[in-house]
Amino acid sequence: MSNTRNKKSPKKTGYLMIFIGLILPWFFLDLTGLLMKIAGAGLIYYGIDLLTKDNEAFRPGKIASLLIFGARVVVLACEMILEPNSQLAVIASLIFMVPETFGMIMVIQTIAEGSMKLEEVTGINLDAEKMKKDSKWYGITAITVLMGTVFATFGIALFSLVFMIASICSLIYLVKILRKIWNADSTYGRWKDSGMVTAGYTVREEDIVAENTTSGTNGVFMAMPEEDEEEPNMKTIYLAGGCFWGAEKYLGLVPGVVDTNVGYANGRTENPSYEDVKYHQSGHAETVRVKYDETKISLERLLEKYFEAIDPVSVNKQGEDEGIQYRTGIYYTDREDLTAINAVYERIAEANEKPLAVEVLPLVHYYEAEDYHQKYLDKNPQGYCHLDGCMFERAKEV
């Protein structure tokens, strides 16, 4: 299997940069410490920027990291311009500790919120709720450190003790949060590598070892479906293109398509219901089984029509629908189809600056959806559809 994306997920690099940026200043003092703090703020911004590429929920962290960066640069300037450790320099440092502290709190909160969004979209447990609670306590202790620093600077002994205790607690919470972030990233990475997320890769003949079987994401080996020998011109391909109501309507209008059926493909459980797929994270993709006459339309042309109806670089999202059940994918049952699939895939990839987010995998299993989902838009002409109405007319153009 040849992955066209960088095998090292940008998310991992992002978390690593934030980890280093948050922890780095604790190991340096004086002017060196300030320089490390500024470098740390830059790493935090870079890390948040990488995370934002996968999840817009991380975006507020970029503002927070800029706030931290600005505050630390001003403190460094004060230390260099004013007499080091003078009362004026100390006061300036204390003043700019306020935006720095709140910037740190915002970064941690953003990571927690982003992780909660990832849980919602992927259905995997990243312990984000606990991360959010820890980030709240980190915020409380960080503010306490700020207040304790102010009072301790002016010689109030009691607050010196409070400052020390709060500093220790703050560091403990920071380490706990970073550990949760690291564990969450590992969980996300394993899930992403499992094929349960669209990662933009193609399957090539030399990558397939088994003769008539393929392993699913649940590790179960299942026989590949066979084509109906009584209809030699009829072929079948399974296409996931977001909500299957609109996808089925669109694909059914393509000349040469003989029949369509909607169902759930390549998930973790057997015989899933719609509720399992939508609410219980079964991992299936809403998929259209497309039966077509290869004497009337080639697989390449059919796939070109499919790509016209999807956003091929959108991960787990088509239109307003978001979640792994709405991922895009091409699932084949005949290995000879790989030549046509890869030819179209590579042409589309070359035409896009971003990597494609369309799975190309053998069909592991396919379960027909409930009757009310079949030909839904024929039964409900005014029903919901994520595709623009004009797409149905374009489907007819071959």
Pairwise CA distance, residues 50 & 315, whole Å: 15
Q: How confident is the model at residue 293 (pLDDT cuts 50, 70, 90)?
A: very high
The answer to whether residue 6 scores a pLDDT higher than 60 is no
- The full set of domain ranges for the chain reads 2-193, 201-395
Pairwise CA distance, residues 46 & 44, whole Å: 5
Is residue 243 among the annotated active site residues? Answer: yes
Length of the chain: 398
Q: Greater confidence, 106 or 237?
A: 237
Tell me which range, 133-147, 239-253, 346-360, is most confidently predicted by mean pLDDT. 239-253
The answer to whether residue 1 scores a pLDDT higher than 90 is no
Taking residues 358-382, what's their average pLDDT?
A: 90
Q: How confident is the model at residue 5 (pLDDT cuts 50, 70, 90)?
A: very low
201-395 CATH pick, 3.30.930.10, 2.30.30.90, 3.30.365.10, 3.30.1060.10: 3.30.1060.10
Closest CA to 394 of 243, 218, 246, 211: 246
Q: How confident is the model at residue 196 (pLDDT cuts 50, 70, 90)?
A: very low
Q: How confident is the model at residue 214 (pLDDT cuts 50, 70, 90)?
A: very low
- Helix then strand then coil, % of the chain, to nearest 5: 55, 15, 30
User: Do 224 and 211 touch, CB atoms closer than 8 A?
Assistant: no
Q: Greater confidence, 20 or 87?
A: 20
Single out the catalytic residue among 78, 243, 385, 390. 243
Query: For 262, phi and psi rounded to 5 degrees?
Result: -110, 150
Q: Greater confidence, 253 or 157?
A: 253
Pairwise CA distance, residues 94 & 90, whole Å: 6
Residue type, 293: D
